[in-house]
Amino acid sequence: MAGITDKVFRQICKSYGADVLVTEFVSAEGVFRRNQRTREYVDFDEIERPVGVQLFGADANHMAEAAKQVIDWIAPDFIDLNFGCPVNKVVAKNGGAALLRDCPTLSSVAKKVVAAVAPLPVTGKIRIGWDADSINAVRVAGILQECGISALAVHGRTRAQGYSGEANWRIIGEVADAVAIPVIGNGDLFSPADVARRRAETKIAGVMIGRAAMSAPWIFQQIKHYLATNELLPAPQLVERWNIIIEHCRRHSETRGDKEQAIRSMRARLMAYSKSFPEGKTLREKFQHVSTVAEVEAIADYHLTRTGWAQTAPALEIVNP
């Protein structure tokens, strides 16, 4: 997720059981430039494997060349092609979800990238269609399978929906029935029970969790536990949740030259984390003003004292599970 799944956050998700990670998307042109920003977007640590780099773009030759360069550069485990991004800036250049309306170009991008990076797997991410009148996920999935795409994630919304309305899991199910490649269902999975239900209703091979992880990165562990035992693992205690936040802030600021800017850029992330916290509204007001790790730690101390959790807890260890 652009602006969200940087390597610190991905590693937090991994430590809670996420099986496969994907970088924030980068354009083929960004890869050619290889500036500092692109470098940060695609940077990952060995501990994250299996990890994919997601590319977007509409020029098949550029995409194939960019995919090859990414492999020479950082050797991810797979390349993921974005055919789902709804953002104007991206679709205006025929990238992301725009290719759902242009199947010949979509097919050409997929074919050329697959041929360019073989035998490395290439996966795809689609929405169910451009708008309600042009839902074509089953057709697109068939085309991508023909092109040699190894697995397909389907977000059950149209481009026109953005993030509104509900994900259409009926269409995701139809895609899973129609193709032989693994289909990964995505959209509105906010609890282990949501995942269990969708797995029972469809033939999906896996699930992709987006927004829920932003406020509860431990959801991966809860899902796995629920699927294995039918029991709901409680969310980590407040102390552990604060440890996640502080570790995230610390590591994020370590990766940036301007430490204050680094923490300011974390404010939206802190807001997302606070959704799962008691007294979240008060926290959100405080988070609007933070610019140092020390300020975040002070808020944590205050909050833990107020909520009766003031005790020391071991630092969060981000490890490969």
Ligand X SMILES: Cc1cc2nc3c(=O)[nH]c(=O)nc-3n(C[C@H](O)[C@H](O)[C@H](O)COP(=O)(O)O)c2cc1C
Closest CA to 42 of 16, 89, 7: 7
- Which residues lie near ligand X (CB under 6 A)? 1-4, 24-25, 54, 82, 84-85, 125, 155, 186-189, 209-212
In angstroms, give the least distance from the CB of 184 to ligand X: 10
SS in 3 state form for the chain?
Answer: CCCCCCHHHHHHHHHCCCCCEECCCEEHHHHHHCCHHHHHHHCCCHHHCCEEEEEECCCHHHHHHHHHHHHHHHCCCEEEEEECCCCHHHHCCCCHHHHHHCHHHHHHHHHHHHHHHCCCCEEEEEEEECCHHHECHHHHHHHHHHCCCCEEEEEEEECCCCCCCCCCHHHHHHHHHHCCCCEEEECCCCCHHHHHHHHHHCCCCEEECCHHHHHCCCHHHHHHHHHHHCCCCCCCCHHHHHHHHHHHHHHHHHCCCCHHHHHHCCHHHHHHHHCCCCCHHHHHHHHCCCCCHHHHHHHHHHHHHHCCCCCCCCCCCCCCC
Closer by beta carbon to ligand X, 53 or else 60: 53
Distance in Å, CB of 240 to ligand X, minimum: 23
Comparison of 7 and 155: residue with beta carbon closer to ligand X: 155
- Cβ atoms 218, 235 nearer than 8 A: yes
Q: Which is nearer to ligand X, 110 or 299 (CB)?
A: 110
Residue 131 C-beta: closest distance to ligand X, Å: 17
Q: Which is nearer to ligand X, 243 or 274 (CB)?
A: 274
Choice among 85, 103, 147, 249 that is catalytic: 85
**Minimum CB distance to ligand X smaller for 2 or for 47:** 2
The residue sitting closest to ligand X, measured at its beta carbon, is: 210
Considering the complex, what minimum distance in angstroms separates the CB of residue 53 from ligand X?
11
Least gap, CB of 189 to ligand X (angstroms): 5
**Least distance in angstroms from the C-beta of 90 to ligand X:** 9
Is 85 an annotated catalytic residue? Answer: yes
Closest to ligand X by CB, 76 vs 187, is 187
Q: What angle do helix axes 238-254 and 7-15 make, rounded to 10 degrees?
A: 150
Residue listed under structure tokens 């959790």: 309
- Catalytic residue annotation: 85
